Amino acid sequence: MFLAELQQEEKYAFLELAVLMANIDGNVSFYEGAILNKYKKEMGLEDYQIKGLPIDDILQQFQSERSRNIVLTELFQLIYSDGVFHEKERESVRVIKEHFGFGKGEFENFKDWIEKIKDLSL
């Protein structure tokens, strides 16, 4: 949806992060796989080889507030795609939220907005 707005290095980092999140529960669902393929196509990274970078290295790539908002928007689409918000996903989102500097109220409002968008796309 918004991934084309990211800088090239941010696109690589986002794909690394998305693959990390999809694999976090030990199982990439059919829905998560489809969304990962959609992300690759949207960013023109169909041939990109995942490096398996650590989350801290990945998150350092997102400097602007806009890119951070894009990352969270797209990640929630991936997380909610299989209908389950796993505890490991929840913990990773907490790490991302803290790294990006989102306050609790700001983050909850953002999360609620994402859930409403998800409901509209059903």
Give percent above pLDDT 90 in the chain: 52
Are 55 and 16 contacting, i.e. CB atoms less than 8 angstroms apart?
Answer: no
Please give the pLDDT value at position 94. 86
Domain ranges of the chain: 7-120
Percent over 70 (pLDDT), the chain: 89
Correct CATH for 7-120 of 1.10.3680.10, 3.40.50.10320, 1.20.1280.290, 2.40.50.140: 1.10.3680.10
**pLDDT score, position 57:** 95
* One-letter-per-residue 3-state SS of 25-77: CCCCCHHHHHHHHHHHHHHCCCCCCCCCCCHHHHHCCCCCHHHHHHHHHHHHH
The amino acid sitting at 115 is E
Instruction: Output phi, psi for 12, to 5 deg.
Output: -60, -45
Tens digit of each residue's pLDDT (9 = 90 or more) over 13-71: 999 999 999 998 888 889 899 999 999 999 999 999 999 999 999 999 999 999 998 99
